[in-house]
Amino acid sequence: MEESNFIALSPSTRKILDRMKQAVSSDLPILFLGESGTGKSYLGFLFHSFCKDRFPQYQVFDFSVSESEEETSEIFSKLDGKAGVTIFLEAISNLNPSFQVQLLQKIRNEKGKNRYLLSDQPDLPEKVKSGRLQESLMTEIQTLQVKIPTLRDRKEDIPPLTRFFLDLIGKRYNRKNIKISEKLGKFLLEYDYPGNLHQLKNLLEAMVSMHNVKTLDTKHLPPELFETGYKQNDNLTVRTGIPLRDYEREIIRRNLILVNGNREKAARILGISERTIYRKITEFELFDSEDGKNPPSS
């Protein structure tokens, strides 16, 4: 894996890259914390590429799917006697307490011999309080933390990530130079991405596989995307002294632009009926002047 494949234009992701490079010379374990789909396993492999001179082998064990005690015991036995290995363990809070104790012992005993990388959800400290994660293990692994931002918190990275994913997907489907429209670009910047990087990649692949076009647009978005609305945006700017009616008009206008004038999709996002949004379009005169049906394009 090359560093150039890691998109780091936003301040938060640039800090991640710098922190990982600084951590190469240490023997301490690294704890990756991030929501599902933020790229924890990708960063684990990227870190291995930085330190593979000392730890040439790389092994991944994923505990996000619950294993039986026998299966977990077998996994731990595979780690015995290893040397020169970067060991990436995902969803460590799913381990039962006895295996957490074993993991703690292995991390302490193998320092400098193997490099341990661990990952979990951002609420790991809460899991310590609830007793799901051993406090002693958390104390051991918390010194070097890499907190991975959600995709909605690294919007500067969305355009280059889109191009990167489209290149990969285009090769898979034997399609070259797939582009996106300006409207779709705006949509991709505004969407909330509960599935983060995985959702962006899957969304683009769904459009490429379903529509054999050179330029993808908002009309090519899968309708299932609008079954649920956006999450509340804590960064929403609200100014005083502005009538509620003006806010309502602007919110409806922007969402109609976002979905290329599709009233049904806009209604789903806003949580209102299609009949209501049609009435609001008429009330606020949001019809396109050319055909009297669609909202303005800007």
For residue 96, the number of C-alpha atoms closer than 13 Å in the C-beta half-sphere is 10
DSSP state of 114: B
pLDDT of residue 123: 92
Reported as a single tens digit per residue, the pLDDT across 147-189 is: 999 998 999 999 999 999 999 999 999 999 999 999 899 889 9
Q: pLDDT at position 142, please? A: 95
Residue 288 sits at the vertex; the CA angle it makes with 285 and 291, to the nearest 5 degrees, is 120
| CA-based R_g, the chain, Å | 24
Give the pLDDT confidence score for residue 289 in this predicted structure.
44
Which pLDDT value is given to residue 226?
66
**Secondary structure (3-state) at 121:** coil
Residue 240 has pLDDT above 70, yes or no: no
The mean per-residue pLDDT over the stretch 31-37 comes to 94
Please state the rounded mean pLDDT for residues 119-131.
93
Domains and CATH numbers, the chain: 3-149 (3.40.50.300), 154-226 (1.10.8.60), 234-297 (1.10.10.60)
Average pLDDT, the chain: 87
* Model confidence at 136: pLDDT above 60: yes
pTM: 0.75
Cβ atoms within 10 A of the Cβ of 277, count?
Answer: 22
pLDDT in tens, 245-291: 887 888 888 788 777 688 888 888 888 888 888 888 988 888 754 44
Over range 4-27, report the average pLDDT: 89
The mean pLDDT of 135-140, rounded to a whole number, is 96
Q: Is the pLDDT of residue 228 over 60?
A: no
For residue 144, the number of C-alpha atoms closer than 13 Å in the C-beta half-sphere is 19
- Per-residue confidence at 112, pLDDT binned at 50, 70, 90? very high
Whether 49 has a pLDDT exceeding 50, the answer reads yes
